[in-house]
Structure 1
Amino acid sequence: MEVFMEAVDYLESQHIPVEGVSEPSPDPLQEDVFPEVDVFSPLQTESMDLPDTPVLRTPEEMLDRRLMVLKTMLDSEKIYLNELERLLTPMKALKATAGTSQPVLSSQQVQTVFYQVPELRDLHRDFYTGLRDRLGSLEPQAHPETVQGPGPGPGPGLGLGEGKEQSQSGYQLTVGDLFLKIVSQLVVYRGFIDNYESAVEIVRRCTQTDQRFRILAESMMSHNGSDRSKTKYTFEALLYKPLDRVTKTTLVLHDLLKHTPQQHSDHPVLQEVLRLSRSFLSGVNEGSQCKREVTLSRGMRRQLMRDGFVVDVYEGGRNLRHLFLYTDLLLCTKLKGGAQGKQAQYRFCWYLPLAGLKLRWGPEMERTTDTHHRIHAMRAKMYLLRHELRQTMKPVLQKPVLQKCLAARAIERSRWKKMEQLELMILTHSPLLPLELHSPSGKNHTLMMSSLYELEEWREAIHRLTGDNIEMVPPDLLTLTSSCVKLRMTQQPPLHSILLDEEQSLCGTLSVAVHSACGLQQPASVYVCVEVDGFEFYERHAQTHSSVSSLSPHWDQEFSFQVDGAQNLRVLCVLQPEEGESCEDRVVCKTSIQLDPGHLQKRWRRQTLSLGQVEVTLSLKYCPHPLDPPCLAPAQQQSIFCMPIGAVAQQEGVLVPHVVRFCVEEVERRGLEEVGIYRLSAATSDITNLKTAFNTSLREAVSRLRCVDVNAVSGILKLYFRELPEPLIPTELFQSFTKALDIPDLSSRSVTMLSLLQSCPSVNQNTFLFLLHHLRRVSDRQDVNKMPLMNLATVFGPSLVRPPVAVLGQCGPTVDISQEVVVQVQVVYFYLQCDNLPEAQTCIPHDTETTEEDETTNI
C-alpha cells in the first residue's frame, strides 16, 4: 500500500487530484464521459461530410472559412495534447512501482498499456507547434474577429483594403506540408490500434481486481481548452482518444480541402493527404475489431454485432428498414439518404432490449391476389429493363468490372435508377417469412425475410446474445441513432442490380436433387430447404417433404430453378416437431456454397455437403440458356387429381407422385398410433381444401398437411387413388390376378403374383410397392391403431384393383360383384403378406449419367 500511496503522491505533485481514495468502488452502471457517437467506426469515406455548410461562391469566402477550420483544428489539437499528457502522467509512477514487491502493473503491462502513446504525443506536439506558428503569422495582417467572426464576410471594422490583404495572406498560408508529415507517420497510429485491445483488456482486468489501480484509473483530470476547465476521464476513455482522432483528422481534412480554392498551392497536397488518410482508415476499418465498440458504462460495453436491411411490418404496412443488433438491444432505423455531397442520416423507429426477448419463426404468410399480380408485374418490368441494359452494356463487357459499371451507368443512368427502384419495391413486398419478436414489456414487432437462411442468421445472432444478456443500460436513442452512420457495416440494400458480377453468375436452369442426410444425433422428422440468390424474377426456394422419424432420412426429390444472376446455393436442414410437441420448426444446420458456372455441367454431378455434424447428399446440374420473361400472372400448377398417375409422375420427374409420398410420410410421422387410421373419415371440408391445395400449389399443400387432422391426410391419400382414371393395378390384369389367386401351390402363386406386378408400368409398380411397405408399417402398430393387414387390404383393395368396365354390346363372362370385391381385397392382402416384397424406387436415379466421384464440400 505504501507503493500505491507514493504513486498517488506523485500524481498530486503534478497537480492531478486523485479522488475517492477512501470511497467504495463506484456504481458499475455510471456512464462513461465520452459520448457514444465519438467512436472509431467503419466510415464510408465517400460520405465523410461534416454538417451542412453554406455554399461558398468566392475564393475570399472560402479562405475565410478555411481559416476558421484551421483555428478549430488548432483548438482541438490543444485539447488532444492535454488528453495525451494526462494519459502519460501516471506512466512514470507505474513504472516505478513495477520493480517493487507490490507492483500495480508489471513492466510488460506498463509497456503494453502505454504503447506508442509517447510517440503520438511528440508527433502531435510538433504538428500543433507548426500550425500555431503559421496561424500566428497572420495576426498582423488580420484582426482577430476576421478569423473568428461568425460569418464568411468582412467584420464591421474591416475595410476593403484590409480584406484584400487578408485574402492575399490566406493564399500565402500553407499547411499542407504539416498535414502530409503527420499522415506520413500514420504507422505510429497503426501500432497503437493493433495494440489497443490488449491495452484495454489490461486496464479492465486490473480495474476490477486491484483497488489501487481502480482509484488511479477512474480519477484522471484533463484541462479542456483555453478556459482551463477540467474534465474527469477514466483511463479507458483516455486510451480511446487516439482511435477517435484518426476519424476526426480525416473529417477535418475533407472539410479543409472543400474550403481550399483549387488555385491554392495547398490544394493538390491536401488531396493527396486526404487520399492517404482515407486509405489508412479503410484498412483499419476492415481489420480492427475494436472499431465497433462503444463504451456505455464501467464494466459494460455496447458493440455492434450485425446489421442489415429487413422489412418491418407495422399496422399492415411494409417498410424497408436498417436493423442494428447490439450486444444488449435491437435498434430499428430508417435510412434517410442525403443528397449529393451530403451525408446520409438515420431516423429512429423503435428498439427492443435483448433481455427476455423471445423469437418465433412464424408460419409463412400468404399474399393477396392483388399483391401477387403486382409483384409479378414488377418482375416483368424489371426483366425487360435488365434485358435492355444488357444490350447497352455489350460494348463495355471487356472492360474491368468497375469501369464496366461506370460506363454502363453513364450511358443508361435513368434505366439503372428505374431498375433499382423496382428491385427495392420487390425487396419490400415479396418477403413472406416472418420473424416475430416478443418483448417482456409487451412491445412486439414482426420482421419479414425473403430467405430462410437470412432469417436463421438473424435468429442465431439474436439468440446468442439473449442467452448471455443480464442487464441493459437504457441508451441515448438520439446519440445511438446518429452513430449508425459510423457504425454500420452494411451500406446498401442487397440489390443485384448494383452488386451483380455477370461473369460469375448463372443464367438458365439449375436443377437440384436432394437425396439423403446422415449424422443426426437422434431419430427425427426433418426436411431440407434449398435456396438460390439472384434476381427475383422466378421462384428462388423450395423444400422437400418431411421425412419419417429417422437417423438417415431419404428424400430423392428434384427441384428445378429458373435462375438469373444466381451466385450462391443455400441448403438448410430443418427439424419438424413430433406430434404433441408445441415447439416450432427448428433449423438444425445450414450451409452456403458458391455456384461456379465453370464447374457445373449439363449432366448430374453428385456431391455431399458437410453442414457441421450433418451431411446432405445432393446432385446438381446446370443448363445455361436465355430465359423467357416472367409471366404477368403467376404460373398455375397442373391438377394432379383425376389425372393418369404416369402423367403426374412425369410432370414431377419422380417414380412415386409427391401427393403419395407426402401423405405417407405425414401419416407415419403422427398417425401410426391413431385408432382407426385409414378407416375413420375426416371432415369433408378439410379433405376438399387439401385437394384444392394439391391441385394448385404443392408448396401450400405440404404446409397444410402439417396442421390438419391426420385423418384428413389419410383421407386425401385414399381419395387420390379412388379418383385415378386408371387404377394403380391395370384393369387388363384383373383376370390374370383372379386366376393367379386360384393357384393352389403357394410358391407358384407367389412367383406368378410377383411376375404380374413386374409387368405393371414403372410408376404404377413403384407407387404400389411404396404404399404396401407403408401399410405394413401401419399394421406393425395394430395393437394401438387397431388396423391389421386385412383391415387395410379391405380399405385400399377396391381403389387399387378394379375390374374392367363392362361395355354395352360386348359379351363376356359374368362376374359376381361380391366376387370382384373378394379379388380386390385378396390381391392387396396377398402382397401385404409377402416376405420378399421388393423395395420401391421413389425417384429416377440422378447419378447414372455421370461417372464422376462424389465431392464433399466442407463448410
Structure 2
Amino acid sequence: MEVYEEAMNYLQTQISGITVKAEREMEPDLIEDVFEVDAEEAFVTSPLHTESIDLPDTPTSWAPEVMLERRMVVLKSILSSEHLYLSELETLLTPMKALKAAAGTSQPVLTSQQVQTVFFQVPELRDLHHEFYTGLSARLEPQEGQRPGLELGGSQPPPVGDLFLRMVSQLGPYRGFIDNYESAVEIVRRCTQSDQRFRTLAESMMSSIKGADNCRTKYTFEALLYKPLDRVTKTTLVLHDLLKHTPQDHPDHAQLQEALRISSSFLSGVNEESHCKRAVTLSTGIRRQLIRDGFVVDVCESGRSLRHLFLYTDLLLCTKMKGASVGKQTHYRFVWYLPLAGLKLCWGSEQERSSDLQYRISTMRTKMFQLRQEHKQQGKGGKGVGARTLDRSRRKMQQIELWLSTNTPVLPLELHSSSGKSHTLMLSSLYELEEWREAIDKLRGDSLETIPPDLLTLTNSCVKLRMTQHPHLQSLLPDCGEQGLCGTLSVAVHSACGLQEPASLYVCLEVDGYEFYDNKAQTRPCLRSLTPQWDEEFSLQVDGAQCLRVLCVLQTESGERWSVQGRSYIQLDPSLILKKWKKTIVCMNQMEVHLSLKYTPHPLEPPSSAPVQQHPVFNVPIGDLAQQEGVLVPHIVRSCTEEVERRGLEEVGIYRISGAANDIQTLKSAFNTNSRDAVSRLRAMDVNAVSGALKLYFRELPEPLIPADRFQSLAGALDIPDMSSRLETMLTILQSCPDVNRNTFLFLLHHLKRVAEKQEVNKMSLMNLATVFGPSLVRPPQVVLGQCGPRVDISQEVVVQVQVVYFYLQCNNLSTPLTSLPLDSEEEGTDL
C-alpha cells in the first residue's frame, strides 16, 4: 500500500487546499423559514443548501491558448491510459469464466468462493471504465472537415467534465476491491504455490493488445490485481493536472473541481483505512462500522435542527448535512457524538404542541396541499408549462416538507451518556423511534470499548458511507401520489392473540405519504388482558400512501412507562382493498394482531386548519356516542368494566360503595376531553371511583339504556306466571331494543355476572348488583305536563327496575354481545 502514502504526501504538498477546512464558521441552519421564501428565488437542484468549498486556484501565468494546448495533451494521455487499463482489466477477467466452470467439477482449480473473492468487483470496475472510455473517445473524435481535436493547436473538443464527474461519483466498487485486495492476493499466492495448473495460468497472462514491438505484454496474476490500486491513485493526480490546465471560465472547470474533490476525498478515506486499521479496531476485535443512519430532529436550547445521525459500532455521530448545489459537493459538519458504552435511552412522553405551533403546522399543510394540486395541474399542462416552473413549485413543496419534518415530530428519544452529556432527538414516527432504539440497544453496554475517533476524518467519511442520501421527502419522488393511495384508508383494529401473560396494550397505526393530514391513529389501551379486544375503526385521509405500519405498545405495571411489544408493516395494494373490507393478520414476535382494511379513492378536500376537538361522552345519547366511535359498545363502558375486572373483583362492596366525588368528576372531565388520556388515568384512580364513573355515565344518559317505552312491557312480562313464557317475552323485548342499547346492556350483564362470581369475597350478589344498577338502566317514561300517558305506580317503580335487571342476570342463555359494527362485504385473507 506504499502507493497511497506517496500519493498523499504529494497531494499534501501540491494541493493542500483540497481538504475541507474544519475550522470554518458555522453556517445558518439547514432549514429556511418557508414564510420568507420568495417566489422568484433562484432555482437550486437540492433542497439542502450548502456553501462552496475553496479549491486551489488555477495557475494564471500561462496564456489561455497554451493552457488549452497542454489540456489537450493531458486528455490524450488520459484516453490512451484508459485504453491500456481496460485491456489490463479484460486480461485479468479472461480466466474467470473457465475457473467458475471448473469450480463445479470434481477437480476444481479454485472453489466457487475463491473465484468470487479473487475477482471481487473487477467486472464492475471494467464496466465503469468502459463507459467512461466510450464517452470520452466519442467526445474527442475529430469532426468531419476539422483537424483532430487532440493535435496541438487543433480545434477544442466538447466539454468532458461531466464524464469525469460521473466516473468518480461511482468509485464505490474500488472501496470493495481495496477492502478485499489482501484476501484476493493471499488466495493467488497460496494457489500458485500449491497448484501447478493455477501457477501456469497465474504466471503467463497475456495482454489483448500489442505494444510498440508488435508483441503482447505478459503479466502475472498478482501484477494485474495491483492495477486497480495503482489506478485509483493516478485518477486523483491526473484530475489535478487536468484542472491545472483548464481555464476558470472553461465549461469544464466547475465539474472538474467537484470530480477532484470526490476523488481526493475517496483516496484520503482509503489511505486512512489502509494505514490506520488499528485506530478503528477495538481490542475486542470489533471493527468500527456504520450500522444505521437517518435524519432526526436534534433539540437544544437554540431550538430544533434537522440532523443526519450515524450509528457506528461503538458511537453515535450527529452531523449537519450541507447539500450539493450546482457544482458543489455534499459534505458534513460535526455537531456532537456520544459513545455507546454506558449510554442510557429513554422514550419520553409525547410532547404537546403550543396553539401557535399547531396553527402554523395547519397553515403549512394547507399551503403544501395547494402547491401539490397546482404542481399536478402544471404537469398536465403540456408544452405550455416550462421545466423551470415545475422545478420551482417542486422546490417550494420540498421546503415546506423540510419545515414540517423539523417542527412536527413530538416523540422524544432521550440519550444520556455516562459522562453526563445528554441529547434529545425528536421523531415523528414511533416505528422509526423503535428501530433506532433497537439498533442502539444491540450495540450499547457498560463494557463496550470506544476508541476516541478522529472526528474530522469520521465526519468527512460520512458522505461515502451514508445509506440515507437525503431526508425522506415525498415531493422528491416522481409521481409518488399516483403510485400510492389517494382518498380514505379505513382501518378496523379487532383483537390480538398470542400473549404469554395478561398485558395492557394499545395498537398504533402510521401511514406514509404526504403530510397534509394527521397520518397516525391509536386505539384505546386494553387493560390487563390475555386476548385484547379493541374493535375500533379509523378513517385516515391519505395521499401517496404505500405502507401501513402497525405497532403494539405495552404499558408497564406502574402505568408510567410504555414499550413497543412488536411491530410490523403492510404494503398497501389498492386492488385488494378497493371499496371492500379485507381481513388480515399482522404477525409480530409471538403475537398476532387482527385488522381489516378498506380503501375508498376520491379527490381530497383541503386540510382543515381548525383543531380537531373530541365530542363529549357524558350526557350524550348512547346511539350518537357509539356512532361517533364506530362501535356497538362505547369505549367508556368497556374501559371501566375492564379496569374493575382487573383489580376490583375482590373489592368489598364494589359498585355499592361510591368513590370520592372529586375523582369521579375528574374521570368524567377526562373522558369528555381526551378518552385515551382518561383510560390511562383509570389505572391511577381508586377502583371505586372507576365503578362510580361507570354508574354516573348510565345515570346521566338522556334516554335510559333500556328505552323508556319498554318499561310497561317489561313490567307486564314480570307478571306472566309461566316461566318459559315470561323468559321468551323478556328476551323478545330485549331483542327489540336498538342495537347499541341491546349490545351494551348484554355486555354489562356478562360483566356483572363475573363480579357476582366473587360474591363470597366482594359481598355483591346478583340481587345486590341489580339493586345498584336497576334505577340507572330501566326508567319509566317521563310524564309531560298536559299529555296523557300510562300511570306508573311510584311505589312499585323501583321494584320493577330491580326485578327486570335481576331477571336478566339470572338468565343462563344470554347471547354474546357484539362490541363493533359488522364490516360489509368482508373477505378473509392474510396476503396483504
Length-normalised TM-score, structure 1: 0.68
**Corresponding position of 2:829:** 855
- 2:678 & 2:240 partners in 1: Cα distance? 61
- 2:667 & 2:654 partners in 1: Cα distance? 18
Give CA deviations for 1:13-59 in whole Å, capped at 9, x if unaligned.
Answer: xxxxxxxxxxxxxxxxxxxxxx9x9xxxxxx9x99999532565884
Shift of 1:419: 1.7
**Corresponding position of 1:457:** 435
- 2:628 & 2:406 partners in 1: Cα distance? 33
**Corresponding position of 1:484:** 462
Shift of 1:111: 8.2
Q: Is 2:748 the counterpart of 1:771?
A: yes
Choose the corresponding residue for 1:497, options 472, 475, 478.
475
Change (3 A) 1:725 1:188: closer
**Corresponding position of 2:378:** 392
Tell me the SS of whatever aligns to 1:599.
Answer: helix
Choose the corresponding residue for 1:691, options 668, 677, 700.
668
Tell me the SS of whatever aligns to 2:444.
Answer: helix
Shift of 1:200: 12
Choose the corresponding residue for 1:802, options 768, 775, 779.
779
Shift of 1:109: 15
Tell me the SS of whatever aligns to 2:612.
Answer: coil
Q: Is 2:562 the counterpart of 1:605?
A: no
**Corresponding position of 1:410:** 388
Q: Does the 8 Å contact 1:373/1:632 carry over to 2?
A: yes
**Corresponding position of 2:597:** 620
**Corresponding position of 2:797:** 820
Tell me the SS of whatever aligns to 1:301.
Answer: coil
**Corresponding position of 1:590:** 567
Shift of 1:576: 2.8
Shift of 1:734: 1.3
Q: Does the 8 Å contact 2:321/2:331 carry over to 1?
A: yes
Q: Does the 8 Å contact 1:49/1:343 carry over to 2?
A: no
Shift of 1:443: 2.5
Shift of 1:110: 14
- 1:552 & 1:802 partners in 2: Cα distance? 35
Give CA deviations for 1:641-677 in whole Å, capped at 9, x if unaligned.
Answer: 3221112222332212233233333443444455554
Report the residue type matching 1:849 in the other structure: S
Change (3 A) 1:263 1:378: closer
Q: Is 2:533 the counterpart of 1:554?
A: yes
**Corresponding position of 1:237:** none
Shift of 1:493: 0.9
**Corresponding position of 1:332:** 318
Shift of 1:394: 1.4
Give CA deviations for 1:759-800 in whole Å, capped at 9, x if unaligned.
Answer: 111110001111222222333344555544334333322221
Tell me the SS of whatever aligns to 1:493.
Answer: coil
Shift of 1:635: 2.7
- 2:228 & 2:346 partners in 1: Cα distance? 39
**Corresponding position of 1:296:** 280
Q: Is 2:736 the counterpart of 1:756?
A: no
- 2:817 & 2:117 partners in 1: Cα distance? 73
- 2:654 & 2:812 partners in 1: Cα distance? 24
RMSD: 5.2
Change (3 A) 1:757 1:312: same
- 2:737 & 2:691 partners in 1: Cα distance? 25
Report the residue type matching 1:319 in the other structure: S
Alignment of 1:520-599 (within 5 A): 520-577=499-556, 579-580=557-558, 584-599=561-576
Q: Does the 8 Å contact 2:50/2:323 carry over to 1?
A: no
Alignment of 1:632-671 (within 5 A): 632-671=609-648
Give CA deviations for 1:186-210 in whole Å, capped at 9, x if unaligned.
Answer: 99969946846967999xxxxxxxx
**Corresponding position of 1:737:** 714
Give CA deviations for 1:668-687 in whole Å, capped at 9, x if unaligned.
Answer: 34444555543444555554
Change (3 A) 1:699 1:383: farther
Q: Does the 8 Å contact 1:507/1:627 carry over to 2?
A: yes
Shift of 1:294: 9.5
- 2:752 & 2:227 partners in 1: Cα distance? 74
Tell me the SS of whatever aligns to 2:830.
Answer: strand
Give CA deviations for 1:463-502 in whole Å, capped at 9, x if unaligned.
Answer: 1112596222222333322322222111111111112623
Shift of 1:612: 4.4
- 1:536 & 1:352 partners in 2: Cα distance? 32
Choose the corresponding residue for 1:53, options 48, 52, 55.
55
Tell me the SS of whatever aligns to 2:534.
Answer: strand
Change (3 A) 1:843 1:492: same
Shift of 1:714: 3.3
- 2:566 & 2:226 partners in 1: Cα distance? 42
- 2:527 & 2:594 partners in 1: Cα distance? 17
Change (3 A) 1:385 1:524: same
Percentage of identical aligned residues: 60
**Corresponding position of 2:25:** none
Tell me the SS of whatever aligns to 1:803.
Answer: coil
Shift of 1:511: 0.6
Give aligned pairs, total.
Answer: 677
- 1:464 & 1:201 partners in 2: Cα distance? 34
Q: Can you give the 5+ residue segments of structure 1 that lack an aligned partner in the other structure?
A: 1-34, 38-43, 74-106, 124-166, 203-239, 398-403
Q: Does the 8 Å contact 1:409/1:416 carry over to 2?
A: no
Choose the corresponding residue for 2:415, options 437, 455, 463.
437
Q: Is 2:492 the counterpart of 1:513?
A: yes
- 2:74 & 2:669 partners in 1: Cα distance? 72
Choose the corresponding residue for 2:368, options 373, 382, 405.
382
Length-normalised TM-score, structure 2: 0.70
Q: Does the 8 Å contact 2:343/2:445 carry over to 1?
A: no
Q: Can you give the 5+ residue segments of structure 2 that lack an aligned partner in the other structure?
A: 1-18, 22-45, 79-109, 127-151, 188-224
Shift of 1:266: 14
Q: Does the 8 Å contact 1:49/1:251 carry over to 2?
A: no
Choose the corresponding residue for 1:317, options 303, 319, 326.
303
Q: Does the 8 Å contact 1:303/1:326 carry over to 2?
A: yes
Deviates more, 1:566-575 or 1:696-705: 696-705
Q: Is 2:471 the counterpart of 1:471?
A: no
Shift of 1:622: 0.9
Q: Does the 8 Å contact 1:518/1:614 carry over to 2?
A: yes
- 1:191 & 1:458 partners in 2: Cα distance? 27
**Corresponding position of 1:150:** none
Deviates more, 1:755-764 or 1:674-683: 674-683
Q: Does the 8 Å contact 2:346/2:413 carry over to 1?
A: yes
Give CA deviations for 1:563-621 in whole Å, capped at 9, x if unaligned.
Answer: 111111111222333x4476x32222221222123333112122223334322222111
Change (3 A) 1:265 1:509: closer
Deviates more, 1:485-494 or 1:676-685: 676-685
Q: Does the 8 Å contact 2:366/2:607 carry over to 1?
A: yes
- 2:334 & 2:457 partners in 1: Cα distance? 10
- 2:721 & 2:252 partners in 1: Cα distance? 107
Change (3 A) 1:187 1:732: closer
Alignment of 1:418-429 (within 5 A): 418-429=396-407
Give CA deviations for 1:407-450 in whole Å, capped at 9, x if unaligned.
Answer: 98532333222221211111111112222223333323222221
Shift of 1:825: 2.5
Shift of 1:262: 9.7
Tell me the SS of whatever aligns to 1:856.
Answer: coil
Change (3 A) 1:781 1:605: same
Q: Does the 8 Å contact 1:48/1:254 carry over to 2?
A: no
